[in-house]
């Protein structure tokens, strides 16, 4: 992307899709796992920067609070774990992401949601690291914007998704810090 030109959503989706397709097969499974772990650590650090008192406060009208972001990341981590592990362990065809969302309890605490995410990620990583890196690459399932992907592409997408929400969490923390009374 050239400097000064704002990338359209269509261009961004095409760029990310190209990245996923090329890098998911170029990297080893260990490298994919390490990339996901690093993104997860960045997300945890960004989440920790949001004060407990403002955790359920949206930074602006109509935007997500840190609690909303965390609940969303938790829901997607559950899907990642269930879908990828189902493919690798049983050769199951996963549901498309939009059809498989399960939400955390609206009263779930930050600690509960973080513990759930940690459990989903560790279960996923354990299965992925034991799997044949070439197994079941013919099983594809869909994302509403990025299309059908195999488990390796979904694993790398988990990194992209986590980093996107780490940046969102950082932005929420920055806005809340600038608007909180001294």
pLDDT digits (tens, 9 = 90+) for 47-99: 999 999 999 999 999 999 999 999 999 999 999 999 999 999 999 999 866 65
Q: 94-117: per-residue pLDDT in tens?
A: 986 665 556 667 788 999 999 999
Alpha helix positions (H), the chain: 9-26, 29-48, 66-90, 110-130, 151-179
Q: Which helix (H) or strand (E) holds 50?
A: none
Helix (H/G/I), strand (E/B), else coil: 147: strand
Q: 39-58: per-residue pLDDT in tens?
A: 999 999 999 999 999 999 99
What are the chain's domains? 9-179 (1.20.120.450)
Average per-residue pLDDT for the chain: 92
pTM over 0.85: yes
Q: Which DSSP state fits 26?
A: H
């Amino acid at each position: 992307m050239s400097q000064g030109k704002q990338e359209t959503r269509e261009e961004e989706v095409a760029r990310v899709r190209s990245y996923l397709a090329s890098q998911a097969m170029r990297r080893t499974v260990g490298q994919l796992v390490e990339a996901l772990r690093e993104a997860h650590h960045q997300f945890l650090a960004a989440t920790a920067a949001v004060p407990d008192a403002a955790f359920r406060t949206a930074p602006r009208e109509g935007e997500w609070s840190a609690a909303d972001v965390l609940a969303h990341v938790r829901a997607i981590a559950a899907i990642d774990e269930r879908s990828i592990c189902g493919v690798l362990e049983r050769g199951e065809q996963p549901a498309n992401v939009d059809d498989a969302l399960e939400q955390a309890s609206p009263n779930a605490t930050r600690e509960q949601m973080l513990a759930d995410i940690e459990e989903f990620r560790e279960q996923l990583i354990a299965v992925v690291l034991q799997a044949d890196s070439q197994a079941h690459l013919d099983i594809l399932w869909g994302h509403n914007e990025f299309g059908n992907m195999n488990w390796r592409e979904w694993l790398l997408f988990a990194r992209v998704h986590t980093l996107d929400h780490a940046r969102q969490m950082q932005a929420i923390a920055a806005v809340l810090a600038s608007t909180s009374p001294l």
